[in-house]
Amino acid sequence: MLRTTTALCLALALAGAAGAAELNLYSSRHYDTDLSLYENFTKATGIKVNLIEGSADELIERIRAEGAQSPADILITVDGGRLYRAVEAGIFQPVDSAVLAERIPAKYRHPDNLWFGLTSRVRVIVYDRDRGLPEGLDDYEDLADPRWKGEICMRSSTNIYNVSLMAELIEVLGEEAAEAWARGLAANLARPPQGGDTDQIKAVAAGECRIGVANSYYWGRLAGSAKAEDRAVAERTALIFPNQGNRGAHANISGAGVVATAPNRDAAVAFLEYLVTDEAQRIFADGNNEYPVVEGVTPTGPISAYLDFKVSGVNAAVYGERAAQAVRVWDRAGMP
């Protein structure tokens, strides 16, 4: 049986009283709402959180350069591909935690417990409400159908979100079929890839293309924006969660692991366990319109309009393991 949030916080408080007085957190998440998580953890355990921010690549290189003397206890970053880079760099150590094993589904945990998913985001298809639901567009595979020629907007294939999507498609379809799909998709673009995921959603709303591909939380940001023009974009668009009739949609993660040389290992494990309490999961996910990884916890922000869907069972570790292969496939397919 899973431990309740109250019981878990009590266990954390005891761990904090008996262990280290601080925790050094290296994070590539730059969301102010995450700060409340760190404050709540300190209140529950007495462990002070020292935050160091940077890009994933910067933080990985910093930890490598610091070597055995690194003060880093935890590294948090986004995307299974970036977590893979940290694994390859020898950044993480395995963590055997019954709490993490029970609370986090296996597909969101590294097979050797080197990192743990904390929130998820889904790679969705965005469409123009005014032009209606695109009939026959149910799966990622359908994006290669010639009927959508000149209708699709998507960011560059070199972006890690699209690299991870391709990695999953190679895993489930095979390399040859994935490359054929990529060629069909490239032929259907309404314009050369440009901008980020938000730009693809805005392009759909502006009529530049009928269909876009983006991570779900970008739509949630627009829907919850203080700017009327952003909310108008969200209202003009809607989301399709692909492959609901078969394997489920591609979901990526924000994740974290304990650094191999962590000077405050017990505090680091306690911190990870705190982040999978119901309270922390809601704060973590709602802060960036993501989905909690813990079953039974639901978001309360704009993305809560989309809750009834399934995700594939592909482990997020695959996104990094097949990343180089995915880049080669995109290149051969001629996808910019």
Query: Angle CA(173)–CA(179)–CA(183) in degrees, nearest 5?
Result: 130
In a domain, 310, yes or no: no
**pLDDT above 70 (res 258):** yes
Side-chain-side CA neighbours of residue 66 (13 Å): 18
Range of the domain at 287: 5-120+252-304
In a domain, 309, yes or no: no
Q: How far is CA 106 from the centre of its chain?
A: 15
Rounded Cα–Cα distance for residues 336 and 329 (Å): 12
Rounded Cα–Cα distance for residues 302 and 286 (Å): 9
Q: Are strands 211-215 and 152-153 parallel, antiparallel or unpaired?
A: parallel
Please provide residue 74's backbone torsions phi and psi, each rounded to the nearest 5 degrees: -135, 140
The length of the chain is: 336
Q: Domain check: are 103 and 176 in the same one?
A: no
Rounded (10°) angle between helices 323-332 and 160-173: 90
Q: Domain check: are 50 and 74 in the same one?
A: yes
* Share of residues in the chain with pLDDT > 90 (%): 92
Q: Domain check: are 196 and 326 in the same one?
A: yes
Q: Domain check: are 208 and 323 in the same one?
A: yes
Q: Domain check: are 201 and 270 in the same one?
A: no
Rounded Cα–Cα distance for residues 66 and 47 (Å): 23
Q: What are the distances in angstroms from CA 245 to CA 125, 138, 139?
A: 15, 8, 8
Q: Domain check: are 56 and 182 in the same one?
A: no
Q: Domain check: are 174 and 300 in the same one?
A: no
Rounded (10°) angle between helices 34-45 and 265-274: 120
Q: How many domains would you assign to the chain?
A: 2
> Residue 20: pLDDT band by 50, 70, 90 thresholds?
low
Only one residue has tokens 């999507």, namely: 165
Q: Domain check: are 61 and 170 in the same one?
A: no
In a domain, 134, yes or no: yes
* DSSP letter, residue 284: H
Q: Give pLDDT, residue 8.
A: 52
Q: Domain check: are 146 and 287 in the same one?
A: no
Please provide residue 26's backbone torsions phi and psi, each rounded to the nearest 5 degrees: -100, 120
**pLDDT above 60 (res 209):** yes
Instruction: Check which CATH number belongs to the domain holding 16 and give it.
Output: 3.40.190.10
pTM of the predicted structure, to 2 decimals: 0.93
DSSP alpha helices (H): ranges in the chain?
5-18, 34-45, 56-66, 80-88, 98-103, 160-173, 175-187, 197-205, 216-223, 228-236, 265-274, 278-286, 317-321, 323-332
Q: What are the distances in angstroms from CA 41 to CA 54, 190, 326?
A: 21, 47, 38
In a domain, 172, yes or no: yes
DSSP alpha helices (H): ranges in 174-303?
175-187, 197-205, 216-223, 228-236, 265-274, 278-286
For the stretch 268-279, pLDDT in tens is 999 999 999 999
In a domain, 273, yes or no: yes
Mean pLDDT of 217-246: 98
Here the tokens at position 8 are 């878990």
Rounded Cα–Cα distance for residues 11 and 13 (Å): 5
| The residue type at 270 | A
Q: Give pLDDT, residue 31.
A: 76
For residues 93 and 262, the answer to whether their CB atoms sit within 8 Å is yes
For the stretch 130-174, pLDDT in tens is 999 999 999 999 999 999 999 999 999 999 999 999 999 999 999
Q: What is the DSSP string of 109-145?
A: B-TTSS-EEEEEEEEEEEEEGGG---TT--SGGGGGS
Q: Domain check: are 107 and 29 in the same one?
A: yes
Rounded Cα–Cα distance for residues 178 and 200 (Å): 22
Rounded to the nearest integer, the mean pLDDT of the chain is 94
Q: Domain check: are 106 and 130 in the same one?
A: no
